[in-house]
Structure 1
Amino acid sequence: MRFAAGLIIASAVSLCVSGAAWSQTAATKGAAPAAAPAPTPASPPAPLSKAACTNPDALGISRVVEIDTTGGPGFGFEHFKQLDFLRDHEVVLTFDDGPWVTTPTVLKALADECTTGIFFSIGKHATYYPEILKQVLAAGHTIGSHTWSHATLTNKKLTEDQRKEEIEKGFSAVKWALGGVSPAPFFRFPALQHPPEMVTYLGTRNIAMFSCDLDSFDFKARDAQQVIDVTMKKLDKLGKGIILMHDFHKHTAEALPTLLRKLKAGGYKVVRMIPKAPVQTLPQYDEELLKDAKLPTVSDRPVSSVVQTISQ
């Protein structure tokens, strides 16, 4: 497949601001249209405020790039070679498998260094911890999807409809968790396994695919120091790149403050990636999510019928 994509590069001052190897089979079949409507314009994500940064030596953000996801462009040289937009010593920080109880620690480390990342959320995890995912959004980070249940989409036991459901239901779950705010049309395949027919499908849906330039292998690390050592060794060899990490893992959360300081000391700069337009979820999967996932619902009963004072 040939990727039709555009990069609009916007300069920015130093603004402040696939390791869980389990998978599940999609629950039910769901058909999807052959092509998505053209993306509609949207307000850009909230900027990370320079004024909010109290660290004069923060890593910060060197520039912001806006991604036109028309046609499903691919990023990350491990699988996609066409769009080499990072300059020497530029990095993009990416985090998979959240939201999780470790995610707030990752958010704090990023906030302390006034910098940002892309969070590829698992749909089920988004339904477990919607308030944590809302914290990711409130902090100004970009949020994409990592399927509904972290199923490996090259699994031959999955039908094509089930593969599509993993993709679509994942985005619908993230949107639900964000209170109806559509995430970025950014997607990462679990285990970086890219079935060709799903690559083509994402192109019809105008959803960008993310591989990586270097994998931290944090899911294999015995401790935080190993996460730091592996990441910096690979990065110093490549000189730039999209870094794959997991906010799902304790060692990553523990490693991040030191890792970010090492990036700063090594002359590396963080690039923020935002979409030109949000993803357009499909109503079929939005409805299926609400029907099948047994999500929390808001009671419409008056307070007096739920809470009564029996002693004072």
Structure 2
Amino acid sequence: MRIAAGLIFAGAVSLCATTVAWAQTPTPKGAQQAASATASTPPSGPKVACNGSPDALGVARVVQIDTTGGPGFGFEHFKQLDFLRDKEVVLTFDDGPWPGHTPAVLKALADQCTTGIFFAIGKHATYHPEILRQVAAAGHTIGGHTWSHANLNNKKLTEAQRKDEIEKGFSAVKWALEAAPAPFFRFPALQHPPEMVTYLGERNIAIFSCDVDSFDFKARKPEQVVDNIFKKLDKIGKGIILMHDFQKHTAEALPEILRRLKAGGYKVVQMKAKAPVETLAQYDDELKKDTKLPTVSTRPVNSVVQTISE
């Protein structure tokens, strides 16, 4: 989500849950309903990966989000939709997919049979589509985080360029997954230009801020990431936690973060979209025509890898 100074971006499962529920969240007068109750038909997709721990953190509740009108989540910027109960958290990860770190995050989540939302950078999705597919296969929700991690509050960017960052980012994630992601978006550095907030509302894309920022991009060791999270979380008692699967220290810290969540009586809420994002054809076509993108092999494994000695 945020980047450290000087870092420039170029580019058998089961559901372990105490309860699974569909939440209806009240909205301000005149606003579109942002979380719709759907008692019997959850969104399709893989169940959350679980490595079988008998005392796992798990998933306490699953909520389906109707993104009509572009609802905002996370009290740092959006106050209207207070849908989390006491001791409930949503785990979110920005800036992936990235080799080593994202797979380590996935393992930590699977070890605790729990889940998060991954806000992928478009370029990174095109660099490592196979990793992003691992995220999807493990049952996690995937959203967008722009094409190149551009700060959309940068006055040098035109409105058209800001829209390009959003739309190309979603199309890149769709290209990597071969399926449209959720209409969930997080602004890089949590910078929310008003006109882009309006635009996302018109596009029926939900906007995510946070309640607890791990500041893991500043941390020098995993213990700092853990301390940053719980210093605030234990004070406010619930919230959307912002982390980065791009960061090494986050991957190292996550097993302890999840252990402390379990020990502290916290429960994880999974957020799913009622429907996938509707990407724009012009950006989908641009991605398909881009000869610089890697070619994803569709050959069967035995035609690519053959054992010649054991």
Q: TM-score, normalised by structure 2?
A: 0.83
Q: 1:9: Cα distance to partner? A: 4.9
Alpha-carbon spacing, 1:293–1:195, altered in 2? closer, same or farther (3 Å): farther
The 3 A distance-change label for structure 1 pair 263 and 89 is same
- The answer to which structure, 1 or 2, has the higher relative contact order (CA under 8 A, 6+ apart) is 1
Aligned counterpart, 1:221: 219
Name the structure 2 match of 1:124: 123
- In structure 1, give the amino acid aligned to 2:213: D
Unaligned runs of 5+ in 1: 13-40, 307-312
Residue 271 of structure 1: how far off its partner (Å): 0.1
Q: What's the % identity of the aligned pairs?
A: 75
Contact persistence 1:123–1:173 (CA under 8 A): yes
> Residue 142 of structure 2 aligns to a residue in which SS?
strand
Matched, 1:7 2:35: yes
Following superposition, the deviation at residue 188 of structure 1 comes to 0.1
Of 91, 95, 98, 1:97 maps to 95
**2-side partners of 1:299 and 1:229: how far apart?**
43
Q: What's the secondary structure of 1:277's corresponding residue?
A: coil
Cα deviation code 1:8-47 (max 9, x no counterpart): 35689xxxxxxxxxxxxxxxxxxxxxxxxxxxx9953323
Aligned to 1:272, the other structure's residue is in SS state strand
CA distance in 1, matches of 2:71, 2:159: 21
Give the letter aligned to residue 241 of structure 2: I
Alpha-carbon spacing, 1:291–1:68, altered in 2? closer, same or farther (3 Å)? same
Runs of 4+ in 1 over 4 A off after TM superposition: 9-12, 298-301
Q: In 1, distance between residues paired with 2:298 and 2:114?
A: 40
| TM-score between the two structures when normalised by the length of structure 1 | 0.82
Aligned residues: 271
Provide Cα deviations, 1:256-305, integer angstroms capped at 9, x if missing partner: 0011000000000000000000001000001112334621236899xxxx
Label 1:300 to 1:199 Cα distance change in 2 as closer, same or farther (>3 A).
closer
Q: 1:10 to 1:64 in 2, by over 3 A?
A: farther
Flag the 1:60–1:155 CA change in 2: closer, same or farther, 3 A.
same
Change in Cα spacing, 1:11 to 1:212, as seen in structure 2 (3 Å) is farther
CA contact (8 A) 1:44 1:276 kept: no
For 2:286 and 2:277, how far apart are their aligned partners in 1?
18
| Alpha-carbon shift at residue 56 of structure 1 (Å) | 1.0
In the TM superposition, what are the counterparts of 1:176-187 in structure 2 within 5 Å?
176-178=175-177, 180-187=178-185
Alignment-derived partner of residue 202 in structure 2? 204
Distance 1:300 1:98 in 2: 23
User: CA 1:114–1:10 in structure 2 vs 1: closer, same or farther (change >3 Å)?
Assistant: farther
- Aligned with 2:259 (options 238, 247, 261): 261
Name 2:45's counterpart in structure 1.
45
Corresponding position of 1:25: none
What does 1:236-247 correspond to in 2, within 5 Å?
236-247=234-245
1:85-164 equivalent positions in 2, closer than 5 A? 85-101=83-99, 102-164=101-163
CA RMSD of aligned residues (A): 2.3
Alpha-carbon distance change, 79 to 125 in structure 1, aligned in 2, over 3 angstroms: same
Q: Residue by residue, what CA displacement relative to the aligned partner does 1:150-204 show, whole Å, maximum 9, x if unpaired?
A: 00001111111110000000000000000x2110000000000000000000011
- Asked whether the 8 Å contact 2:47–2:138 carries over to 1, the reply is no
Q: Is the 8 A contact 2:43 2:273 kept in 1?
A: no
User: What CA distance in whole angstroms lies between the structure 2 residues aligned with 1:242 and 1:186?
Assistant: 14
Distance 1:202 1:55, change over 3 A: same
The CA deviation at 1:53 is 4.7
| Residues 1:47 and 1:10: Cα distance change in structure 2 (over 3 Å) | farther
1:3 Cα offset (Å):
4.8
Query: Cα gap change, 1:209/1:3 in structure 2, threshold over 3 Å: closer, same or farther?
Result: farther
